[in-house]
Structure 1
Amino acid sequence: MPSHAHEPQHPGDDPLQRERAHLVSSRSALRAMRADAEALNIRDVTANWVNAEVLQGEIDARIKALADLSHTPLFFGRLDYLHAPGLAVAEGASGENFYIGRRHVHDADGDPMVIDWRAPVSQPFYRASKKAPMDLRLRRRFGYTGGELTAYEDEHLTDPAEAEQTSRLLQSEIERPRVGPMRDIVATIQPEQDEIVRAGIGGSVCVQGAPGTGKTAVGLHRVAYLLYAHRERLARSGTLVIGPNDSFLHYIEQVLPALGELEVKQATVDTLVGHVEVRGADDAAAATVKGDARMAQVLRRAIRSHITMPEEPCVVVRGSRRWRVPAYELEEIVQELMDREIRYGAAHDALPQRIAHAVLVRMEQAGEAPDDRVQDAVARNPAVKATVKAVWPPVDPAKLVLRLLGDADFLAAQAAGILTPEEQKTILWAKPARSAKSAKWSSADAVLIDEAMDLVARTPSLGHVVLDEAQDLSPMQYRAVGRRCSTGSATVLGDIAQGTTPWATNTWEEALAHLGKPGSTVEELTQGFRVPREVIAYASRLLPAIAPDLAEATSIRESAGDFEIRAVAADDLDASVLAACQDALTKEGSIGLIAAEARIPLLRAALEAAGISWLAPGEETSAASRLTLVPATLAKGLEYDYVVLDEPAAIVDGEPDDRTGLRRLYVCLTRPVSGLTVVHSADLPEQLGQPGRPGRPGRPAAG
């Protein structure tokens, strides 16, 4: 596979110069497309100011999406077809050569100069191989430096004399140092990733991905693909990306805009269910019970406990007439509404109309001819309102949960046969709150309130939801997310081995059932692109203890990466950690210093004393400040070129049990892209072995 990164002897016949010229022309065409959008005059095509505002908003979004990002390659590949593909013709393309990029670019005549990576004609860039060339004669990859096209690399898919081998440009792009937020992977999507990205919108997909397999990137690119393929549908219903915390969302927030998608919302589960202010916290035992799916049954029973079968008739007075609906008939109406399993609030709204209808039947039997206006008036009659209030009173979800957690007798009545007495005692507040506003709600309480709100009124559904780091959600949290895509589809991303909550899911089948998407496809990614080979092999020693059913991840990286374990004396720990950070700062790229929560204040003080600037997770790295101090609890989903891991034993000890602690350590060990230095004074977990000895650096033992 020849690679060309220098000037040939005959500039007039220089392919690199021709490709550079096409890049210049394409950028010029993109600027012209943006200028055309900016020049649009909508004064004569809108009926009113509302339409004008909407249309102008769409135009502004298009102008923004057409921005030419100087350091982002406009195209990264070229496909030379043996025959003109029908799919390309359908898109208005002509000829046999197509440049593949992040967005579509056409010239003044409307002919494409760059094809969107999501278009069908672009698919062979990711899927074609020697065994299945997909009618390609040649696949060309481009290399860029600072936004300038500096190299290309050809793969002749129908040439039997050319052996299939790993692309050097692809490898260098994968291993390029990370500085700043997460970037897109459109130039490096692998065939198994592309299959997930382009899966249809009709079904939900779950991706079990080992560290560094690109599951987060796959999920984000899947959103971009679905918006391309089903834009009108998703524009109406909406899309959402859910991440574990704000630091993670800040890290990934530039990926979709770089692909031209500006309207996808991002949130955490806590944000979704943020109907009350969270000011309290549960211990692990209480949070586990509150997050159990059985709480949905308790809440449903608690909601329905407000329904009281009528014992008195409803007598409606209209003029000189009195219309009587007997108690047994009211009971039949109430029982029918209960049997229909409609939401509590919808039934509450339907009940006065049902009673009014019974009154109208009596009016008709008496020879009157009432219409809908009469029925509405009867439904608003004070007697009907009083009956509804007594039989099916309105319920405030927050007040319901407040009573459930603060009233032992009420909880016992609603949880009987569902929660054990011990479990009830675990979630019961020691000191009941006076009001919903003054209560010190926890995150788990907020999820219960969200469930209660859905029992009262249906939660609006989106067209597609991406749920990342899903392994850490409780069953009740899965239900909260599932409500947001009950009529849409979902992409669920996670790694069972990285589950670090006491309620972390054990199987994806169980999680998908709680999400309301049973039977969804589960795909497993085991080929890593980020974590160095030696590092992932070392971290995988923990898998038998934390996730014995998962396959061990492999890495395609040719570089083994920098990997060192330094065992030091306890008195030298802080100084040795600083020395490891200073070593990492001599190299190119970002550095993450990851430590147990209890160690963060000590390390912060040590960094300040040494004059080393540092960032908090979520803050963007720069040339002047490349080191981030990361609590182990926030490391999930983040990545750094070099990681200095402080005292693994402290990370394990900081969790409620050894299994969760080892899973947390597994997460931290798999954050580096280029190198890892582990510094410890206490013994390493036995699963990792004990390489090195205090005071001297060690290398990991073989095997």
Structure 2
Amino acid sequence: MDIPHQKRGGSVVPTPSATTPSSDVRDVPDVLADEQAHLDHARAQLRRMREQTDRLDASTAGDAWSSELLGRVLARRVASLQDDPRTTLFFGRIDTRPEHGDETFHVGRRHVSDDRGDPVVVDWRAPISTAFYRASPAQPMGVELRRRFGVDRGRLTAYEDERLTAVGPGGHDDARRSAILAAEIERPRSGPMRDIVSTIQPEQDEIVRSDLTTSICVQGAPGTGKTAVGLHRAAWLLYSFRERLDRSGVLVVGPNRAFLDHIGAVLPSLGEIRVQHATIDSLLDHGRVRATDPTEVAVLKGDARLAEVLHRAVWSRVGRAEEALVVPRGARRWRVPAHDVREDVDALIARGVRYSAARDLLPQRLAHHVLLRMERSGDSPDDRVQDTVARSSPVTAYVKALWPVLDPAAVLFRLLSDAGALAEAADGLLTEDEQRVLLWDGPPRTKGAARWTRADMALLDEVADLLDRTPSLGHVVLDEAQDLSPMQLRAVGRRASTGSLTVLGDIAQGTTPWATESWEDAMGHLGRPSHELVVLDRGFRVPGLVIEFAARLLPAMAPGLGAPQAVRDNPGLLSVVATDVAGRASAVVDAVRAAVAEPGSVGVIATDAEVDGIGAALTAAGVPHGRLDADHGDDEDRQVELVPTSIAKGLEFDRVVVVEPAAIVDAEPDLRTGLRRLYVVLTRAVSELTVVHAEPLPEPLTAG
């Protein structure tokens, strides 16, 4: 990281930030030399730990299974002990007060100890590291001094000290008070998202370190770091509850593949490689999506009422016994009256277990009735006889007729193609008009010919869970949750039915017709009516000029929702370039050329319909660029990326060129959704935003 500096007498001295009197710069050459020596020592100890682990022999385990398991554990341990020469093993330090031990702790991404077991670097997730993030003059937490380090290509280049015993005006827990923090936040980006482990703020740290049993909903404005906070929470949970989560697993759910590629490096950089990643589409992959629903249909299919409709559709398939079960065995015929069967069926339904599990229990129930009758006749049957009866052809055929085997596709196919079946399941839940909207026009003859839509995937997932319980993970991180329908939220929630959730989003960035308007409603659909709601409104990523410009949209698209507060001293750059239609492509090329003159990433964002034309203009002008979308994207990182508006959410670039805001608004089904999409697009910039337009800007942007 490049830290602002001044040259004095040939040595490099960090420029003091606009800190309070409690921040000081010591004898820089001596201090940096001492700290660099500690870093070199830490690297040597990490190498020793890695080599020691690498020498362990998994074949000494007691058996082949244990040997294989131990081998995997050791391989993972060796991988976690790799050193990255481009960065340092620690980014900060705390010195405790004499009454708290008078000790020094260097805080880094992973724990490093010497050959005696004493800590050389403490993991940022360790309890002692909490004070590095949260200590303040008002609540020093036993800390005398907090030190932050500047880094350039793996070496320490600067440091800042903050003495928590002296109180200056305005306090010390503001990122604007630290030049090193500001430089790290504003450092040019390339490739995927970085971790924020060295810049976590107190309010973010409280979320990160929330207990595993707590489900948290984070309402976070653009630039507040909510995505990074969610990922760091996953890393902290895996550190603090490793044994439990190693068994049950952790899942991160994002809106699209480009987003997952963007965040994919964060957890590995923190030493966690066992977290699953999925988009909502890959999570609900129950078949091939071959059609697209009209908006009205998609909204209705995402409605929570469909859960009860599907529940009725499944359980209505259980018949009512009208005839007795007769089981021939040897020379005898054993008869179970219909009323006994009905009692068993009612009891199984009342247990609240899944359809298939209850169905599997029925043969044993019926066989038990037969055994009771055998015993009353003087026989002495055992459990083996009951199992034989339960598997016999008469019982199997009777159960099949009474309680048929179902699969999700067959249930949904019948519901959407049979008006009578839908009317029965939706009675009192959906109006006749809504039922007509759901029914297929000219339904396919077989379920194999069904043209499933994206909205159908959540319905199929619901049916699958009604039939067989969805396995639960220990923790699920759900990002951009505001864009999911109630049925999609239910699908995510059941994957944490016995675990907990970290839900991340921003009501103002809801860009789907079914976007939630209330976190209380969304958390209810996720199965977490009791949860902790946290609001992050301090914007560390998006600069002030950009936030102020984008926030002009808020009154028209999200009345009552407060604008984020930019906390960086650097206000960033904002340019609005008006042109005509003929000159727009040239203006975009000029803006991109100006952007690439500085280091860092550049995002060129336009409507999905216009990206081809803009890409052609950049190619004709000789501007190298990539493209982020499912059909054209690749794994190569480029300085300039062309981004369709549909996948811009969650991404960030140092400089952003937004093309034709009015077209971005008009591309959405309604004005509010269009303004929200534009709000998302405008807030992707970390340092500079350029808006190029030939059409008049949307009216809210011209206010003020």
TM-score, normalized by the shorter chain, greater than 0.5: yes
Q: CA distance change for structure 1 residues 600 and 10 in 2, over 3 Å: closer, same or farther?
A: closer
SS in 2 for 1:341: coil
Q: Structure 1: how far apart are the matches of 2:219 and 2:665?
A: 24
Measured in 2, the distance between the counterparts of 1:495 and 1:187 equals 24
Query: Separation in 2 of the partners of 1:10 and 1:327?
Result: 90
Q: Does 1:102 align with 2:109?
A: yes
User: What is the aligned partner in structure 2 of residue 316 from structure 1?
Assistant: 327
Judged with a 3 Å threshold, the aligned counterparts in structure 2 of structure 1 residues 12 and 647 are, in CA distance, closer, same or farther, namely closer
- Paired residues of 1:643 and 1:676 also in contact (CA < 8 A): yes
Give 1:159-178 correspondences, 5 Å limit. Answer: 159-160=166-167, 164-165=171-172, 166-178=177-189
Identity rate, percent = 54
**Deviation, structure 1 residue 161:** 7.0
Counterpart in the other structure of 1:207: 218
Please report how far the alpha carbon of residue 83 of structure 1 lies from its aligned counterpart in structure 2 after TM superposition. Answer: 3.6
Contact kept? 2:546, 2:689, Cα under 8 Å: yes
1:572-583 equivalence runs, <5 A = 572-583=583-594
- Change beyond 3 A, Cα 1:3–1:616: closer
Choose the corresponding residue for 2:600, options 566, 572, 589: 589
> 1:129 pairs with 127, 132, 136, which one?
136
Question: What code does the residue aligned with 2:88 have?
Answer: P
Matched, 1:33 2:49: yes
Which residue is 1:58 aligned to? 73
Which residue matches 1:548?
559
In 2 relative to 1, CA 621–313 (structure 1 residues): closer, same or farther, beyond 3 Å?
closer
Q: Does 1:118 align with 2:119?
A: no
Name the CA distance, whole Å, in 2 between partners of 1:445 and 1:11.
Answer: 66
Q: Which residue of 2 aligns with 1:191?
A: 202
- Matched letter for residue 56 of structure 2: L
What residue is the counterpart of 1:14 in the other structure?
30
Q: Among residues 73, 78, 84, which one is paired with 2:93 in the alignment?
A: 78
Other-structure match for 2:687 = 674
Query: What's the counterpart of residue 694 of structure 1?
Result: none
Asked if the contact 2:188/2:600 (under 8 Å) is kept, the reply is yes
In the aligned structure 1, how far is the partner of 2:416 from the partner of 2:99? Answer: 67
Report the Cα offset of residue 370 of structure 1: 1.9
Does structure 1 retain, via aligned residues, the 8 Å contact 2:87–2:152? no
Q: CA deviation at 1:65?
A: 0.8
Q: Name the SS for the 2:593 alignment partner.
A: helix
Contact 2:653–2:685 (CA<8 Å) still a contact in 1? yes
Residue in 2 aligned with 1:90?
A: none
Per the TM alignment, residue 160 of structure 1 is displaced from its structure 2 partner at its CA by: 4.6
Query: Residue 656 of structure 1 corresponds to which residue in structure 2?
Result: 669
Query: Cα distance 1:49–1:433, how it changes in 2: closer, same or farther (>3 A)?
Result: farther
Deviations 1:226-258 (A, max 9, x none): 011100000010000000000000000000000
The one-letter code of the counterpart of 2:685 is P
Q: CA deviation at 1:620?
A: 8.1
Flag the 1:669–1:162 CA change in 2: closer, same or farther, 3 A: closer
Instruction: Please tell me whether the aligned partners of residues 601 and 655 of structure 2 are also in contact (alpha carbons under 8 angstroms).
Output: yes
Offset at residue 511 of structure 1 (A): 0.3
**What RMSD over aligned residues (CA atoms) do the two structures have, in Å?**
2.0
Is 1:150 aligned to 2:157, yes or no?
A: yes
Aligned residue identity for 1:636 = K
- 2:628 paired with 1:617: yes
Deviation at 1:57, TM superposition (A): 0.7
Q: Deviations over 1:287-321 (max 9, x none)?
A: 11111111111111111121110111001111122
| Greater mean alpha carbon deviation, residues 356-365 or residues 180-189 | 356-365
**What secondary structure is seen at the aligned counterpart in 2 of 1:183?**
coil
- Shift of the 4–51 alpha-carbon distance from structure 1 to 2, 3 Å rule, reads farther
Q: Residue deviations 1:128-187, cap 9 Å, x none?
A: 111111111110000001221101110111135798451111111111111111000010
Q: Which deviations, in whole Å up to 9, do the C-alpha atoms of 1:576-599 show, x marking residues without a partner? A: 111111111112211111001121
Assess if the C-alpha contact under 8 Å between 2:88 and 2:154 holds in 1. Answer: yes
- Alpha-carbon distance in 2 for matches of 1:636, 1:673: 14
After superposition, the C-alpha distances for 1:346-400 in whole angstroms (9 at most, x for unaligned) are 1110111111111112122222222211111111121111210111111111111
8 Å contact from structure 1 (residues 309, 331) kept in 2:
yes
SS in 1 for 2:253: strand
Letter of the 1:399 counterpart: A
Q: Which moved more, 1:357-366 or 1:506-515?
A: 357-366
What TM-score do the two structures reach when normalised by structure 2? Answer: 0.94
Distance 2:26 2:523 in 1: 60
Q: Aligned equivalents of 2:576 and 2:628: distance in 1? A: 24
Structure 1 position 10, deviation (Å): 12
1:84 deviates by: 7.1
Cross-structure match for 1:564: 575
Taking the aligned partners of 1:161 and 1:129, their CA distance within structure 2 comes to: 11
Q: How many residues are treated as equivalent by the alignment?
A: 680
Counterpart pick for 2:301 among 290, 310, 328? 290
Using the alignment, how far apart are the partners of 2:507 and 2:480 within structure 1?
A: 9
Q: Deviations over 1:550-590 (max 9, x none)?
A: 22101111111110111112221111111111111112211
Matches of 2:392 and 2:328, distance apart in 1? 8
Distance 1:583 1:161 in 2: 41
CA distance in 1, matches of 2:359, 2:271: 45
Match for 2:39 among 14, 23, 40? 23
Deviation at 1:3, TM superposition (A): 8.9
Q: Separation in 2 of the partners of 1:257 and 1:29?
A: 21
Q: In 1, distance between residues paired with 2:62 and 2:331?
A: 52
Give the Cα separation in 2 of the matches to 1:417 and 1:12. 76
Q: 1:541–1:688: 8 Å Cα contact kept in structure 2?
A: yes
| One-letter code aligned to 1:686 | E
Whether the aligned pair in 1 keeps the contact of 2:5 and 2:12 (CA below 8 Å) is no
Is the 8 Å Cα contact of residues 509 and 519 (structure 1) preserved in structure 2? no
69, 88, 106: which one pairs with 2:84? 69
1:648–1:346 distance in 2 versus 1, CA, 3 Å: same
Give 1:85 shift: 4.9
Residue 223 of structure 1 corresponds to 234
Q: Give the 3 Å change call, closer, same or farther, for CA 332–180 of structure 1 in structure 2.
A: same
Q: Secondary structure at the match of 1:69?
A: coil
User: Shift of residue 407 of structure 1?
Assistant: 2.1
Q: Confirm whether residue 421 of structure 1 aligns to residue 437 of structure 2.
A: no
Give CA-to-partner distance per residue, 1:80-113, whole Å, 9 cap, x none.
0014758xxxxxxxx6000000000011111110
Aligned to 1:258: 269
Select between 629-638 and 280-289 the one with higher mean Cα deviation: 280-289
Tell me, in whole angstroms, the C-alpha distance in 2 between the residues paired with 1:567 and 1:162: 44
- Name which of structure 1's ranges 580-589 and 612-621 shifts more when overlaid on structure 2: 612-621
Q: CA deviation at 1:31?
A: 0.9
Any unmatched runs of 5+ in structure 1? 87-94, 690-700
